[in-house]
Chain A
Amino acid sequence: MHLLLIEDNDSISGMIAQYLRLKGHDCIVADNGKDGLAQILSNNYDVALLDLAMPEFSGYDVIESLETTGKLKEQKLIVLTASSITEGKMKELEKRGVYTCIKKPVQLNDLMKVIQSCVDA
């Protein structure tokens, strides 16, 4: 699978990318929202994993930009959320076109299952 991980925390992105690669997938890491958005707009990823809480250009900004360019319908997106997000907000994001939201800390085998089901969907 061709995967994109947009995450500003190196420890988290490093760990997840390492896991996904060990599982045999191709994983590109973008450590800020703007780079992530550029990656999505210029490449075709099977699934993009998006962190919400990032400085300057957040995950919300990425989603909003994808909405305005119409790319949100094409790009399968899984949001990795901080614990402080409410159920209501998660539902709202799913309504807007996000495949699903996963709360951190993520369980890697759970994440893998979600990615698989997202690709299959």
Chain B
Amino acid sequence: MRIGLQIAIAASMFTVIMTAIGYVLLVQLNKADPIKMEELTKNITPIFSFGIFIFIVMAGTMTFLIHSITNPVKKLRDAADKIARGDLDVKIYPKGTGEVRDLAISFKTMVNTLRKSGDLQTTAAEKYKNLYETSPFLYRTITLDGLIAECNKSYAERLGYTVEEVIGTHYNKYTAPKDLKAMTDSFERWKLTGIAKDIEIWLKTRDGTTFPTLMTISNFYDEDGSVIGRNSIIRDISEIYEARKKLEKDALMELQLTEIKKMEKLKDEFVSMMTHELKTPLTPIMGHCEMLKESGLLGDLNQVQLDSINTIHENAHRLERLIGDAMLAQRLEIGQMNFDKQKFEVTKLMSEIHNDYSKIMKEKQIEFVNSTHGNLILWTDKNRIRQVIDNLIQNAVDFTPKNDGRIEIGARNEDGKIVFYVKDNGMGIPKEVQPIMFKKFYQVDASHRRKHKGTGLGLVICKGIVEGLGGGIWFESEPGKGTSFYFAIPEEVLWQNKLT
């Protein structure tokens, strides 16, 4: 454009000059002829004037163009130079007209875009710097000499140092003693091969405590592409380690539990077998006692012989009961008790029990009362309920003084449960032994055990049966005044039939 203008100006100037030269030449040639001179002047003047006019127009246009095109373009060129030097701090005012203005606007847009992307780059760098510093991962860069060239804040802080303290130190300063060899081996192997596998290494903090980590290693290259160090991303796996340890422990415990269950099963089989084996010889012992005792069957015995047989027979009975109770307690303990459910009238059962014991109670001169009222019905194992009541009555009889003893049995409905009770006015249970009443082989008075016919398993069995039927058993007792045993069985069938 500029060249075009310059040509136009040059052309107009050429026209003016050429016209002037022509005019001077014609004047020289026609000096003598005034008429021709006058005609010539008349003809040349418009051409000359036109040349001058064109020149003025062209010069004016030139001046205008220099202002409206060249200057803004020059400014844009300066700005571009600045940008090329990396300085984005340039100001552009879209001046001029048409394409130049459009160009300036585009240029300004471009500069703004550049500026924005520059800002983004700065933000990203800051962001990554921030991530590096505060990442939950521990980062460190180690040179080929094993010195830490760089590390993040997390790394330094986790180990109890500042970043400045860490930089320049050897990596093994932070390796737990037990992993020194593994760490050195890994490092040396990496130096030889340039390859380092993920490795579990325990690190050591400033105060000497250690923690497990998982290290992922990548190579660190210089501009020529040769390895000059390695970047380690270190993950503190203390929590994972603990969780893993717990899992291992749980697995071990489960294994032990399986073993225990196996042992329990063996124990149960052993108890069953022993019970059977122990009871078998009792059959002929007791049978022969019975025959000897029966008058006339095997010939008559004198009183001393009879007493002797009675003692044998009595003890055989006691042994039989002991074996039976031990087996029952064992079954209850391992939840292998079978219950036969049936619907039955509690009131009727209590009357039966009262009748069955009336004779013995009369003999012992114990007042025996059944205070069951109403029509109570349960759906549970009747025989086992009876067994519990029998046991409690037996206890009450054994611990109640003759002559002025009183035993009361009964059952009542209480909040959807049938509560059975056996109350006596006997010696009571000393406060200090009340908490261990349901433990195996416990009897209030050790010397009493010899007199008492029980096995020391009665209450254990009662508790096992009641709980097996979904109920609970408890007692109230005051030494010297008596004891009341209660057990409650839910009316709804809550118990589960535990099968062998």
Question: CB within 8 Å of B: which residues of A?
Answer: 9, 11-12, 14-16, 18-19, 22, 53, 82-84, 86-88, 91, 104-109
Contact = CB atoms under 8 A, between A and B. Distances in A.
Contacts of A91: 340
A11 B284 contact: yes
B275 A107 contact: no
7 contacts: A15-B288, A16-B287, A53-B276, A83-B275, A87-B383, A105-B285, A107-B286
A12 B283 contact: yes
Given A19-B297, A83-B324, 19 more contacts: A9-B280, A9-B284, A11-B281, A12-B284, A14-B284, A53-B276, A82-B276, A82-B280, A83-B279, A84-B272, A86-B500, A87-B383, A88-B340, A105-B279, A105-B316, A106-B283, A106-B287, A107-B290, A109-B290
B340 A87 contact: yes
A62 to B, nearest CB: 19
Nearest to B500: A86
A97 to B, nearest CB: 20
A105 B283 contact: yes
B328 to A, nearest CB: 10
B282 interface: yes
A45 to B, nearest CB: 21
Interface string B253-280: 0000000000000000000100110011
Given A53-B276, A83-B275, A105-B279, A12 B287 contact: yes
B186 interface: no
Contact of A22 (B283, B285, B298, B323): B298
Closest 10 CB pairs of A and B: A105-B283, A11-B284, A15-B287, A15-B284, A105-B282, A108-B290, A82-B276, A84-B272, A12-B283, A105-B286
Interface of B: 272, 275-276, 279-288, 290-291, 294, 297-298, 316, 320, 323-324, 327, 338, 340, 383, 500
Given A107-B286, A108-B287, A109-B290, A22 B280 contact: no
Nearest to A9: B280
Contacts of A53: 276
Contacts of A84: 272, 275-276, 327
Contacts of A83: 275-276, 279, 323-324, 327
A104 B340 contact: no
Contact of A15 (B272, B283, B323): B283
A7 to B, nearest CB: 10
Contact of A18 (B291, B327, B340): B291
A14 B284 CA distance: 8
Contacts of A105: 279, 282-283, 285-287, 316, 320
Contact of B280 (A12, A16, A19): A12
A88 B275 CA distance: 19
Dominant secondary structure at the B interface: helix
Most buried by A among B284, B285, B297: B284
Contacts of B327: 83-84
A15 B283 CA distance: 9
Nearest to B336: A86
A14 B283 CA distance: 11
Nearest to A87: B340
Nearest to A106: B283
Nearest to B328: A83
A16 B287 CA distance: 7
Contacts of A107: 286, 290
Contact of A86 (B276, B288, B338): B338
A53 B275 CA distance: 13
Contacts of A106: 283, 287
A15 B340 contact: no
A106 B286 CA distance: 8
Contacts of A104: 279-280, 282-283
Contacts of B290: 19, 107-109
A19 B284 CA distance: 11
Contacts of B291: 15, 18-19, 22, 108
B338 A88 contact: yes
A12 B297 CA distance: 18
Contacts of B320: 105
A9 B287 CA distance: 14
Contacts of B281: 11
A105 to B, nearest CB: 4
Contacts of B294: 109
A15 B284 CA distance: 6
B273 to A, nearest CB: 8
Contacts of B279: 82-83, 104-105
A87 B285 CA distance: 25
Contacts of A16: 287
B198 to A, nearest CB: 60
A14 B316 CA distance: 19
